[in-house]
Structure 1
């Protein structure tokens, strides 16, 4: 200190002239000046003397101040989603150090009070500097600071594209790990034995079903079974089991004696369909499912259901099981899905029609009973006379003669039964083809079939952006050749408080039971309209000659017929829908269409061509490789009744003609065929944030399997209208045609192959933890073309090496993580 300090005299001067020892003398006799300044005082000494020793020091004291020096390291550049490490250094005089953020988008600093802090680079739309300050402080409060700048650029797909291959394992990029989580037959209760995988296993009501498909993750608090949407280490995983590979379910494949199926085999096949609800947790080294969790349950084709919405109680839903048409039993052929914003799971009933038997002569019987329009409906949904029904379940003679779990699949009207359908199962087909809502947190809850969303071959349902006060929309595809794309708009504007309500199915009642169902019409000029399926509007009346609708319930039960009459655009098998969380644009996979002839091409479905094969099989014709269409609502609102559209990407082999087939200029790093699964990363992490969130694309392919197994790609898509128009000249043996379409900007490096699956599989179903660090993916029906005597895939046993002998393949869920613990994909 300088002499000027003493210009103010408060009388505090040394007037003690005694010989008593001075405190400083005591300190000097035990501690050197260097030890004191370096913090050498013991904890006990500090406790005794407190801050007195430090507070009164001046330049002449033994405890004089010393400077502290720090460095914040050099400036750096990174991309969104990457883990950034800030490394500071401080001189030995610093007793504490800390990192703080000075400017830029706010991030969470981990270990901020150490030399080494980390954070996840935030989502940005352009190069953005973030400034951080490193501070070192001495024991008496003297401090020094230094700053460094980390410039964050927009997210990129930070992995090397996986090469096409036909290996019998899941291949992912370098730096990623694959864990097999939940396989066909895995037990979901404490007293269910492990799966033998030799065809002898039973009780699939307490085992994982087959053909894992769409799924969603619902977070759980670490302390108990309480919903926590932000939880990323514990949760409930809900997934569909679309179908079965029957050859592997039984010891020697299916048994049929005299055209009759054994009861035990049929029960196993029925129970292997449906939905799984299981608890999963992240341990110290890997994810696992909790076999004995109280939350675990299977929902099968035998599970009681409740109807909800306009068709509840309709005469067309009456059966001997539910004489008033308000209840149902079971869900089947569950394909894609949707996670509702209030914490429920929506599963979609897709190819359900094939499970029904309908004897010859049934149409005449219905006509005689005054129900001729039921024949029109059954025919439009593919339930024609002469069908025996998938797997022959109706041939079973049950040991319990009162059981109807097999006879319910016979839609033939009994001659001596009541004409209203309340004494047989003639109306059972009308009980299927719905979106079914499930509460994943409540095992005692009854799933609800949401009839306001229409009846069709539902592929899935995707919620649009939820904006307070705006009526939300839910987008759906009808997965059959030349079917339609739909959206349902609720009558009720969104309230954020409903996102955390305790009675989740009651919230579903609020938003999903009343509203307007629309079907899409795509125009050649890039515009489109949503046409309302409303009874009494346009041709949807009781006087319509093609189909006289009775009421709104009839319109919804026969949504396909209503779409026909309104002039909707037939599409190339609309499958999954997904909504970009950043801008609300809706994407839909159009997987392929073998019946897209050259004469029926149009702007939204412009290709019909010959796809060459290299394995000696016959070439395929039509829109063989599929495409992904997208639309932007007018005004960017879910309530819009008009939109603009273009094609995000056309599937094709990289070597095909780029003028008329490979219109998106795909190369070996990103060419694909038959797009199916589709999903955007969650907005709860950087991969789903910013202007360009990551989109995941999965394939279910039969056309390109001579070159590669099915795959999953990651994309950072642009926006509707970012490309231009192209004229396609189609040519097949049946003729030629020309169609002008709208094509998005060529994806290039913003579309990369991330995963290739094992032999004969489909890649379908995807979700992640809220933090984006664990990606769940389903591998469906590996080795589907084989059987007990001809095992064509040993996956998942082959994932960790070649088994000593072939192992029956099993559909399974995998978890993909980064070795460095970062976000998946970027």
Structure 2
């Protein structure tokens, strides 16, 4: 996610409890810095529900990972353990392979909007490898979260016009590229490819589910409320058992120019008077909320994409609710229904899950084309006794009535924040990526929240005494029964931090290598939990984060809590997005916004001042890109 945390949205003024009012790190964390869950230290009622899992991961024996931890680094390069190799592929601006004569990236950033529409977008984020030939070839589908207009245009933002807006919109969205492993082990993009595709902020999309056609979704350009242009600020992602890709619209509100006096609905979603920062409204009227107040309601959804069907229209699935979606992680119940877990990356917002009404059908994407349109959306409440419950967002139940401002189920979903406020859901510290391990535990990263304890938000308590939560933590839970359970038990997997920090609140309880601001989260085929960090560029090397270097990727053992640093990225970057080939011998990981320096964003000469990774050209500029990580001996990564 974009790095300027101090400008992040904080619009939840409900009286709901925050997670810090009910959490107790002395009772609900991975015990004593890594003791197994079978050891009781006064967990009381929490231990029994959580301890029902096996203490041996499927197919594992001996050490869960054997690589030697890499040191903290501030170097402008990628660091991996001895015995591993790094290859850079698919940087911003390279052609995706729609045709054989796709335009190459110009290092002065002079590519046109039309050229950017067939080139990889900016700021790679969520990613997945869809296998075609086992572990030898497949499709990489990845998100492009946002643009840095100081880098995107030759003269930065010294001037602003319609062509620049169009290019910025083309650099957002999703790329689909075909990749194949060569005889020497290296991976390359296949160009041209029949699957190569760019989806941008102007790609036509369908709106489906209960909010489709709703009055709040209709605009002058779309009187039906069922068609919309584009997706943007696509952060984390997910995949479905039927072979589709879920991309998630996160900080969409920043793209809209607010009216002179935003109404209560707009204010609850973080809209403010004036431009949100991207200046699109100056040359694309649909982003002017004063003229088109419903356009913002058409964004903030989970979008489903079929990567194998170039002609398939992406679909915004409104049954999954509207939010500043970080990601969408899919689990499956024993009777074959889909469960989608989602975090909302904003201060004091919520964790959701969706349970489909129908079972997953054989036959792939077409057979399940409406599966995510029918089901129940829930929001989480974490209780003080280590238990929790999922509260259904169903129209007509409890406060979700017309008298309370929810005319129908479509309005409940469009106003999912207000509905969650009314239900009394637990306010969280920026819930981001969610992962499910082999034993049925669900993990969610809570990256940080520097506003906790402020005048307008909940203060500190004995549960988590960090008034300025700079480090973040990872929470986990396990449903009662199956993934569709409405009750669960929860604890903290870890409280991120640095044991050498002089401020006790920032020391954390990590067993192993220090880390700050956990964000990306992924469980590999062996059951290892991979954690990616997102420390703010403006805060790196300062205060609580001064000893942690550049952002990193770490491996964690869910059974013991041991954490080892596996990879450190270049200057100013965020490590985000992880996927692998089915055999576990190749990892694909994204490096986002290398060289970022918020104070220099509008200066076209700034790139060389901070980083020129990965090209290191004196006339170049930093480019987000995908890393290919392999063991030199060809073995399974981590072993």
Distance 1:649 1:662 in 2: 11
Task: Tell me which of 249, 252, 261 is aligned to 2:152.
Answer: 249
Q: Is the 8 A contact 1:472 1:638 kept in 2?
A: no
Aligned to 1:477: 343
Aligned mates of 2:224, 2:204 — CA distance in 1: 15
- 2:373 aligned residue: 513
TM-superposed deviation, 1:276? 0.4
Equivalent-residue separation in structure 2 for 1:777 and 1:604 (angstroms): 38
2:429 counterpart residue number: 572
Gapped regions of structure 1 (runs ≥ 5): 1-122, 129-151, 222-230, 364-374, 397-405, 414-424, 610-621, 688-692, 719-744
Equivalent residue in structure 2 for 1:532, among 376, 389, 392? 392
Deviation at 1:255, TM superposition (A): 3.2
Q: Is the 8 A contact 1:653 1:666 kept in 2?
A: no
Max Rg structure: 1
Shift of 1:516: 0.7
CA distance in 2, matches of 1:167, 1:605: 37
TM-score under structure 2 length normalisation: 0.85
8 Å contact from structure 1 (residues 467, 494) kept in 2: no
Deviating above 6 A after TM superposition, structure 1's stretches of 4 or more consecutive aligned residues are: 602-605
Confirm whether residue 772 of structure 1 aligns to residue 584 of structure 2.
Answer: yes
Given the alignment of the two structures, is residue 427 of structure 1 paired with residue 294 of structure 2, yes or no? yes
How much does 1:154 deviate?
A: 3.2
- Cα deviation for residue 605 of structure 1 reads 6.9
Question: Contact 2:357–2:374 (CA<8 Å) still a contact in 1?
Answer: yes
Report the 3-state secondary structure (helix = DSSP H, G, I; strand = E; otherwise coil) of the residue aligned with 2:156. coil
Does the Cα contact within 8 Å between 2:256 and 2:280 map onto a contact in 1? Answer: no
Q: Which one of 418, 428, 451 corresponds to residue 595 of structure 1?
A: 451
1:426 Cα deviation from its structure 2 partner: 2.1
Question: 1:486 maps to which residue?
Answer: 352
Secondary structure of 1:390's partner?
coil
CA distance in 2, matches of 1:388, 1:607: 36
2:407 paired with 1:550: yes
Q: Is 1:651 aligned with 2:496?
A: yes
Do 2:132 and 2:138's aligned partners in 1 also have CA atoms closer than 8 Å? yes
Give the aligned partner of residue 605 of structure 2: 789
Retained in 2: the 8 A contact 1:336–1:461? yes
What is the rounded CA distance, in whole Å, between the counterparts of 2:444 and 2:587 in structure 1? 21
For residues 282-307 of structure 1, give each alpha carbon's deviation from its aligned partner in whole angstroms, at most 9, with x where no partner exists: 11120011121111010001000001
1:467–1:388 Cα change, 3 Å:
closer
1:168 corresponds to: 76
Alignment of 1:37-56 (within 5 A): none
- Per-residue displacement from partner, 1:736-777 (whole Å, max 9, x unpaired)? xxxxxxxxx6x3xx2100000000001111111111111000
Cα separation, 1, equivalents of 2:478 and 2:459:
22
Indicate whether 1:460 and 2:327 are aligned.
Answer: yes
CA contact (8 A) 1:334 1:349 kept: yes
Write the deviation string for residues 26-70 of structure 1: whole angstroms up to 9, x where unpaired: xxxxxxxxxxxxxxxxxxxxxxxxxxxxxxxxxxxxxxxxxxxxx
Q: SS of the residue aligned with 2:390?
A: strand
Offset at 1:602?
Answer: 6.9
State how far apart, in whole Å, the 2-side matches of 1:806 and 1:814 are. Answer: 23
Correspondence for 2:441 among 582, 585, 590: 585
Rounded to whole Å, the distance in 2 between the matches of 1:494 and 1:552 is 23
1:572 touches 1:605 (CA, 8 Å); kept in 2?
A: no
Asked if structure 2 preserves the Cα contact closer than 8 Å seen for 1:555 and 1:562, the reply is yes
Question: Measured at CA, do residues 505 and 451 of structure 1 come closer, stay the same or move farther in structure 2, by a change above 3 Å?
Answer: farther
Distance 1:216 1:289, change over 3 A: same
Q: Give the counterpart of 2:108 among 198, 209, 213.
A: 198
Q: What residue number does 2:135 align with?
A: 232
Q: CA deviation at 1:344?
A: 0.4
What are the ranges of 5 or more consecutive residues in structure 2 without an aligned counterpart?
1-53
CA shift, 1:639, in A, is 1.4
Of structures 1 and 2, the one scoring higher in RCO (CA 8 A, sep 6+) is: 2
Provide the C-alpha distance between the structure 2 equivalents of 1:765 and 1:187, rounded to a whole number of angstroms.
21
Query: Match for residue 337 of structure 1?
Result: 237
3-state secondary structure, aligned to 1:648? strand
Q: CA RMSD in A?
A: 2.1
- Hey, what's the Cα distance between the residues in 2 that align with 1:126 and 1:813? 29
The answer as to 2:289 corresponding to 1:378 is: no
Q: Counterpart of 2:466?
A: 608
Give SS of 2:471's match. coil
Question: Hey, what does 1:40 align to over in structure 2?
Answer: none
Partner SS, residue 797 of structure 1 = coil
Matched residue of 1:823: which SS? Answer: coil
Structure 2 CA distance for aligned equivalents of residues 604 and 771 of structure 1? 45
**Residue in 1 that maps onto 2:42:** none
Say if 1:522 and 1:529, in contact at 8 Å, map to a contact too: yes
Match of 1:264 in 2: 163
1:309 equivalent to 2:121? Answer no
2:48 paired residue number:
none
| Aligned pairs for 1:100-249 within 5 A | 125=56, 153-188=61-96, 189-202=99-112, 203-221=115-133, 231-249=134-152
Label 1:588 to 1:127 Cα distance change in 2 as closer, same or farther (>3 A).
Answer: closer
Would you say 1:623 and 2:469 are equivalent positions? Answer: yes
* 8 A contact 1:437–1:505 mirrored in 2: no
SS of residue paired to 2:358? coil
CA distance in 2, matches of 1:169, 1:656: 26
* Change in CA separation of 1:537 and 1:192 when aligned onto 2, cut-off 3 Å: same
| Structure 1 Cα separation of the partners of residues 596 and 307 of structure 2 | 30
**Does the CA-based 8 Å contact 1:589-1:677 persist in structure 2?**
yes
Counterpart check, 1:671 vs 2:494: no
SS at match of 1:561: helix
In structure 2, distance between residues paired with 1:659 and 1:666: 16
| Equivalent position to 2:564, from 730, 747, 752 | 752
CA contact (8 A) 1:571 1:605 kept: no
Q: CA deviation at 1:199?
A: 1.7
Deviates more, 1:475-484 or 1:644-653: 644-653
Deviates more, 1:265-274 or 1:785-794: 785-794
Distance 2:415 2:625 in 1: 35
Q: Quote the offset at 1:656 in angstroms.
A: 2.7
Deviation at 1:376, TM superposition (A): 2.0
> SS of the residue aligned with 2:337?
coil
C-alpha separation in 2, matches of 1:472 and 1:395: 41
Q: Is the 8 A contact 2:499 2:509 kept in 1?
A: no
Give 2:621's aligned residue: 808
> How far apart, CA to CA, are the structure 1 residues paired with 2:461 and 2:619?
48
